[in-house]
Structure 1
Amino acid sequence: MTKKISIAVLLLLTTSFAWAQTELSLKDAVNYALEYKSEAVKSKLDIQNSSYLIDEARANALPQINANGGLTYNPILQQTALSMGGETMVIKMGRPWQSTAALQLNQQLFNMSVFQGLKAAKSTREFYQINAELTDEQIVEKVANSYYEVFKTRSQIKTIDQTIQNTTRVRDVIESLTKSGLAKKIDLDRINVSLNNLKSGRLQLQNAVKLQENSLKFLIGMDISTDINLSENDFNAPKMLYSKEDLTVNKRTEIKLLEKQGDLLRLNKKVTQARSYPTLSLSANYGYFGLGSNFPYFAGNDPNVYWSKFSSVGLNLSIPIFNGFSNRSKVQQAEIEIKKFEADLKDTKLALSLAIENAFTQINNAQIALDNQESNLSLAKQVLENIENNYKNGLASLTDLLDAETSYSDAQNNYTNAIMDYKLAEIQLIKARGELKSYYTTE
């Protein structure tokens, strides 16, 4: 219910985005993508289509009823000779007009390939359901990565804005000192050059964030012209400890999907084997047969048209005896596909185990780097404050001040990059835990 309300709010706000912005959280972006991105829509349609595949397979086990009719006109009737009492007579066979109208029923009583096909169709539905889950997880991963990428660039813009503000404040002081003859003009020129470079860098970051926002809107299936404002709370610096104890490849959707593929391959082998089994079916028909010199209408009492009923009921047994070993070759091919699947499953489990180890190592390294960059940022800020104070008192040069500002800006960007690395590592760890969708869609 919460998801539906959130999406409904997003849709309502989308219609008014031409004149207002709305805050878009990561969960809102993910939920929107899972509802409207083409890949998510198509995976849901595949699930819906699988119901029709089951109906199609079930139809082969249900009675098949057909209505047949035919009308034939014979301009020249075939003649035959009959000998009776020593005399030979030549007579015509049939009538110029003949027609049939009948109902025919066929019912499979025993057909192993049909029954196995129905099981395969039901497993196909389960396959599409798991595949939809995997598609959703892939969408969540892409959206989260793109969402954090926008935040990283926006954080860099904030850092450069703060640097521009500090540099402008220092420039104003130097400009005042220059007018008073207490500072050199070259110092003023140098800091103006630095300020212009910062403003140029800010324009480049603004262009980059615009491109990233457009990419994010494309990934979630939102109109590119829509204005969005991302939630600040989604790019904080959490400090969580993770354990490898609950990390297992069996929870991964990729493994569940492969295992279902294995079930389908085994069912395909059984379907192929079932073609060598006997089949038993029931057939029945009921109809009318008309002969006459005139056009045989169903209504009326034409003396030149003769109608008769016919009906039959039968059992049909078919026992395959020899088909040139064709079916045996198909069974062997199906067995080879199963062995190839088992090799793929083993390799995938190995690859996912490697991903788990890497994700755990990466998140811990990212946590260490984040702690270091946080300390470094605090230290760089203290250094900048001290040098600013020394410069005002004539105890530090402009070069020292600019270097301190650059170091502080670099420390801020490094801290932002450390948060970004942590977030990306967190995505991979949550993915390794098999909880990607639930983590980013539930409150």
Structure 2
Amino acid sequence: MNRIVTLTALLFVFAVNAQELDLNGAIQLAKTNNRNLQNANSDIKIARQKRLETIATGLPQISFSANYNNAFEQPVSLVPGQYFGGVAGEYSAVTFGTSQSVSAGLMLDQTIFDGTYLVGLQASEIYLRISQQAYVKTEQAVEQATVEAYVNTILAKAQLVFITQNLTLAENNLKEAQQVFENGFIEEENVQQLQLAVATLVSSLNYAKQMHAVAKNVLRFVMGMDLDEPLKLSSSLEGLVLEMQNTADSPLSLAENIDYQMAKNDVRSKELLLKLERFKALPAIKAFLSGGYDGFGEDFNFARPSQEWYGRAIMGVNLSVPVFSSFQSKANRQQAKLALDQSKNQAQNIAQDILLEESRMRNTVQFQLENIQTTSESLKLAEDIARKNEIKFKEGLISGFTLRQIQTQLYEAQNNYLNAMQQLVISKTKLSLLVNPVTQTK
């Protein structure tokens, strides 16, 4: 029976009675539970609160203050004696005010004009957009990591199936060879060659089991699952490859590429930094209004109805105009200008990198599509050669060493076929994330 068909059938058997989790389900689970993505979502919420904080700095600010003073040792002042009918040249020691006082008041501050505040409002919007784009970038990284972890897991499972098949066949060949050897029809070396083949396959099987367990744990981690949580997968390499082969690639829209959007956003942020340095040269105007009441007494009895309270109120405007900063402002503006030029150059480089990456990935995917066809045909040939030489070995036409070499050739063809499918799925996902438009819903 053709081993490719058998591989698909055995993988189906492994999935029976399992809680199915296909590749799309794994991606959605990762987007829900992945901790890096959760942190990126928190960054968006922080950016929104930061924007509200920035807006609030330009709105009226009201503060309340209250003070209680108890001068248990009041300060003494010396006053010329003639003020109190005394002798000129002499001084009298007097104290002013009461020993205790209470005051309470409100202060209202309002920014009338501040250029840096206007830039800050724009910068807070850019900061929010940066956080949203970082979320999309993280989401893409999580999707790519999930695909790779998922494919590595089902690849390890497929390798287990192939190795199990090969081991079963090798053990059967060994049993038959031992019987023939005991009857004196073949040399002992032929049996030893098959024993060596079986031992190698047993070791490969144990290693494949370990790698399968490791791959599943990596997938659990990417999806935000506990490492001891049950996990069974329903997608197969063949199924994913068939889906990829039937899916056309979208054309690249550079303006909708997340890396290019982030680069343009960086340019915008550098423009705002330059604008900020220029606006620092503008005057700032702020107004204030304060008022309150003061109470005085020798004892702490300010709650009595007869307590007298003295009101106070004041309003004013503050004007601050930068005049000369010893060329510091000019240097800051020049630095901001140079940083803006750098970000523009970087954006152009990123645009070129994206176009080059698109071309490279399309060529890679095309090669891998052809490589799957090549490795599939090679596997069929290797299977046919192996079957024919197994018959020749049983008929005594070839040695055990020759049979082992031919079987090794089959094992290599199996691995090449599996690896070709794995690489196609991974590369196709990378290309899809590169060319497909991004949506920012957070």
8 A Cα contact 1:65 1:103, kept in partner: yes
Cα deviation, residue 394, structure 1? 4.4
Q: Distance in 1 between matches of 2:353 and 2:51?
A: 34
Which of 331, 344, 355 aligns to 1:353? It is 355
Q: Distance in 2 between matches of 1:106 and 1:138?
A: 46
Is 1:42 equivalent to 2:47 in the alignment? no
8 A Cα contact 1:286 1:311, kept in partner: yes
What residue is the counterpart of 1:191 in the other structure?
194
Cα deviation, residue 137, structure 1? 0.9
What residue is the counterpart of 2:112 in the other structure?
109
Q: Where do residues 324-335 of structure 1 align in structure 2 (5 Å cutoff)?
A: 324-335=326-337
Which of 47, 58, 62 aligns to 1:61? It is 58
Cα deviation, residue 47, structure 1? 0.7
Cα deviation, residue 183, structure 1? 3.5
Q: Distance in 1 between matches of 2:156 and 2:391?
A: 31
Amino acid at match of 2:29: Y
Cα deviation, residue 272, structure 1? 3.0
Q: Distance in 2 between matches of 1:177 and 1:118?
A: 88
Amino acid at match of 2:161: K
Q: Is there any run of 5+ residues in structure 1 with no aligned partner, and where?
A: 1-19, 439-443
Q: Distance in 2 between matches of 1:98 and 1:392?
A: 114
What residue is the counterpart of 1:118 in the other structure?
121
What residue is the counterpart of 1:407 in the other structure?
409
Q: Distance in 1 between matches of 2:269 and 2:257?
A: 19
Specify whether residues 244 and 422 from structure 1 end up closer, same or farther in structure 2 by C-alpha distance, changes over 3 A only.
closer
Amino acid at match of 1:424: I
Q: Where do residues 14-413 of structure 1 align in structure 2 (5 Å cutoff)?
A: 22-74=19-71, 75-81=74-80, 93-236=96-239, 237-238=241-242, 240=245, 246-295=251-300, 297-301=302-306, 306-413=308-415
Specify whether residues 437 and 319 from structure 1 end up closer, same or farther in structure 2 by C-alpha distance, changes over 3 A only.
closer
8 A Cα contact 1:26 1:234, kept in partner: no
8 A Cα contact 2:250 2:432, kept in partner: no
Q: Per the alignment, in what secondary structure is the counterpart of residue 222 of structure 1?
A: coil
Specify whether residues 325 and 73 from structure 1 end up closer, same or farther in structure 2 by C-alpha distance, changes over 3 A only.
farther
8 A Cα contact 1:370 1:419, kept in partner: yes
Cα deviation, residue 393, structure 1? 4.1
Cα deviation, residue 292, structure 1? 4.2
Specify whether residues 322 and 82 from structure 1 end up closer, same or farther in structure 2 by C-alpha distance, changes over 3 A only.
farther
Specify whether residues 292 and 85 from structure 1 end up closer, same or farther in structure 2 by C-alpha distance, changes over 3 A only.
closer
Bigger drift between 420-429 and 80-89 goes to: 80-89
Instruction: Report the TM-score, using the length of structure 1 for normalisation.
Output: 0.84
Amino acid at match of 1:194: A
Cα deviation, residue 299, structure 1? 3.0
Q: Per the alignment, in what secondary structure is the counterpart of residue 208 of structure 2?
A: helix
Question: C-alpha deviations, 1:189-235, integer Å up to 9, x for none?
Answer: 32122112211121122122222222222222221112322224355
Q: Distance in 1 between matches of 2:102 and 2:172?
A: 104
Cα deviation, residue 396, structure 1? 4.2
Q: Distance in 2 between matches of 1:153 and 1:382?
A: 24
Q: Distance in 2 between matches of 1:394 and 1:435?
A: 63
Q: Is there any run of 5+ residues in structure 2 with no aligned partner, and where?
A: 1-16
What residue is the counterpart of 1:5 in the other structure?
none
Q: Distance in 1 between matches of 2:37 and 2:316?
A: 50
Q: Distance in 2 between matches of 1:296 and 1:280?
A: 42
Which of 431, 436, 439 aligns to 2:433? It is 431
Specify whether residues 135 and 350 from structure 1 end up closer, same or farther in structure 2 by C-alpha distance, changes over 3 A only.
same
User: How many equivalent residue pairs?
Assistant: 416
Q: Per the alignment, in what secondary structure is the counterpart of residue 230 of structure 1?
A: coil
What residue is the counterpart of 2:422 in the other structure?
420
Specify whether residues 243 and 147 from structure 1 end up closer, same or farther in structure 2 by C-alpha distance, changes over 3 A only.
closer
Specify whether residues 280 and 403 from structure 1 end up closer, same or farther in structure 2 by C-alpha distance, changes over 3 A only.
same
Q: Per the alignment, in what secondary structure is the counterpart of residue 304 of structure 2?
A: coil
8 A Cα contact 1:249 1:432, kept in partner: no
Q: Distance in 2 between matches of 1:196 and 1:242?
A: 43
Cα deviation, residue 53, structure 1? 0.4
Q: Distance in 1 between matches of 2:96 and 2:288?
A: 30
Bigger drift between 395-404 and 60-69 goes to: 395-404
Q: Distance in 1 between matches of 2:229 and 2:95?
A: 85
Q: Per the alignment, in what secondary structure is the counterpart of residue 245 of structure 2?
A: coil
8 A Cα contact 1:40 1:135, kept in partner: yes
Q: Per the alignment, in what secondary structure is the counterpart of residue 226 of structure 1?
A: coil
Q: Distance in 2 between matches of 1:167 and 1:160?
A: 10
